[in-house]
Every structure is written in structure tokens, then in C-alpha cells.
Structure 1
Amino acid sequence: MECTYCGSDLANYDPVFVEATEDDERVPVGGFCNYACLSAYIDEEALTYGDACEWAPEE
């Protein structure tokens, strides 16, 4: 299996695996060789923007 971000062989690392929730089911997003690749993937995919990071308790 390869790192979702950089393509490195995950067998050489202690990988980080990520899942997401879609329609109340967990689905795999990918495996990352380290937290740096995971962080870069999050930044490039703009996953920290939008309603997932906004909290509006009055709604």
C-alpha cells in the first residue's frame, strides 16, 4: 500500500490511516506515511475550510 499523499511504501513506516463519515458510514480516505504527509494532504485539499470548522451554537 502507498501513502495517499507522496506515494511512499507504507510498509516502511508506522502509517496513519484516516476514515471519513458518509451517510452515517465510515469510509477509508487513505493511508499516510507520517503526520507531515497527512497535514500537507489536509492543506492541499482545503479540508479545514467550510462548515466543518464553523460552530454556531445559536443555530
Structure 2
Amino acid sequence: MSLRMIEIIAALIAGAAALLVLKMIGLVIKFAFVIALLITLGAFFAARAISAKFKSRNS
């Protein structure tokens, strides 16, 4: 499995967890989706930055 696929899976898991938590606290659906999308994007970029550090360290 490539690092890119792991980054995408980690971001999707973070987004799903964020959506679940936001629905549990009762946020309006539209706002919950927007916030979960932002968290998903943030997690994707964070995972990408972390994997880039590992790539540069191992090379």
C-alpha cells in the first residue's frame, strides 16, 4: 500500500470521526458536513506533511 493511499484513508477516518462527533452534539447537518470536510482536508494535509518528512529522512 502506497503512502498516498494511507494518507487518504487516514483523512477519511478523521473526517468520519469528526462527522460522528458533530452529529452527536447536535449541530445542524449543513454545518456538520462543512466542519467535517475542513477537518478531513486538514488531516489529509497533515498526513501528507508527515509522510514527506519520512520520505526525506529515509532518502
Higher relative contact order by CA 8 Å / sep ≥ 6: 1 or 2? 2
Greater fraction of residues in helix: 2
TM-score if structure 1 supplies the norm length? 0.27
Greater fraction of residues in strand: 1
